[in-house]
A and B are shown apart, each in its own frame.
Chain A
Amino acid sequence: MKMKNFNKKLDKIKANSSNPFYVPDGYFEDFPTRIQDKIISENKEYSWIFKLFKYVKPQFALGFMIVAFTVIAYTTANFILSNRTNNIDSELFTRTIEVDPSEFTEQHFIDILLEDEKRFEEDKKEETDFYIHYLVDEDIDYGTLIDEL
């Protein structure tokens, strides 16, 4: 009942009053021309971009093909080279031998052991070099070192 009354009130407000909003003079007369101008200018802009794109499209396609070809070639070459230079470390040798020892001769074992020993010696040499350089840089003579120890 209350709602109906308010609906009547709303109807009354609408009936008793004109549109409270208004527009600048001549707005609706000018609007179609303005919109036409806007569409023409957008079309010009669009056609300019479209024409440019149409002109540079083959160059874009060629550039893209070159880039794609370079990427593919580089990736393939990288893959092949990395496979070729992959060193098998002694641990892998050991594991492979564990699987099938019949294929390995005594010489293989000796080579691996020598290789490991060589690597160990290289590491040790590097460590020794480090200490020698330290003693030389700090100007510590043998006597002082013995005294300290």
Chain B
Amino acid sequence: MSDYSDKELLTLFKDNEKRNYAFNLIVRKYQVKLYWHIRKIVIKHEDTDDILQNTFVKAWKGLDGFREDSKLYTWLYRIATNESLTFLKQQKTKYLMPLVDYENQLKESLESDEYFNGDEIQRRLQKAILDLPEKQRIVFNMKYFDEMKYDDMAKILKTSVGALKASYHHAVKKIENYFKED
């Protein structure tokens, strides 16, 4: 893992000769965090891998124009979130039949996913999370799993702290109801 700060990495990236090396360090620094952020949204490893690649390719293309008034990791998270949401939208439009619900497919895939080995309670929790609307799901994942601060979440999702708190509160309530009903 790289010991460079974001600022140092960006300075390194601006040097044409060290550009590739700097980007490699950026990938190494953020790949794990971004992978899990995306994986919690799209569930499947193969889809996560595609989205993570797209995220870094977009980052590579946009890094020249990156303004340092926001943090690098906030910017990367934003790209990853947008890419994941775009992916989900594409998947939903792919299945034109109204009865086919992409979230239900994901829930079913949890049963057979070779890269999921959670116990029963974790499976139930993941299914409850999949029942949430997309944005609420992202807020819940960022707060609950990534333990991210509301301020940082607000910068990534471009929304207010109050709205995020309300969203998280609703998400927890819905998950609680799911556990009661299930």
Contacts and interface: CB of A to CB of B under 8 A. Distances in A.
A23 B32 CA distance: 10
Closest 8 CB pairs of A and B: A20-B118, A20-B122, A6-B176, A32-B27, A35-B56, A39-B60, A32-B24, A22-B115
B172 A22 contact: no
B128 to A, nearest CB: 10
A55 interface: no
B172 A6 contact: yes
Contact of B32 (A2, A6, A24, A28): A28
A14 interface: yes
A36 B126 CA distance: 33
Contacts, number: 73
A10 B175 contact: yes
Contact of A36 (B20, B40, B49, B145): B20
B4 interface: no
Interface string B33-46: 00110011000010
Interface residues of B, number: 36
Contact of A20 (B53, B56, B123, B175): B123
Given A3-B172, A31-B27, A17 B57 contact: no
Given A13-B122, A13-B125, A20-B126, A42 B115 contact: no
A21 B31 contact: no
A35 B57 contact: yes
A94 interface: no
Mostly helix, strand, loop or mixed at chain A's interface? Answer: helix
Given A6-B172, A13-B122, A23 B117 contact: no
A6 B144 CA distance: 13
A31 B30 CA distance: 11
A38 B27 contact: no
11 contacts: A2-B176, A3-B173, A6-B179, A17-B118, A20-B122, A21-B40, A27-B49, A34-B53, A35-B27, A35-B57, A38-B53
Contacts of A21: 36, 39-40, 45, 115-116, 118
Contacts of A17: 118-119, 121-122
A14 B23 CA distance: 33
B72 interface: no
Interface string A1-22: 0110011001001100101111
A71 B118 CA distance: 69
B116 A20 contact: yes
A17 B121 CA distance: 10
Interface in A44-86: none
Contacts of A28: 31-32, 35
A13 B120 CA distance: 11
B52 interface: yes
A27 B145 CA distance: 21
B148 to A, nearest CB: 14
B18 interface: no
Given A6-B172, A32-B28, 13 more contacts: A3-B176, A6-B176, A14-B144, A14-B145, A20-B116, A20-B122, A20-B123, A22-B115, A22-B117, A23-B35, A24-B115, A32-B31, A36-B27
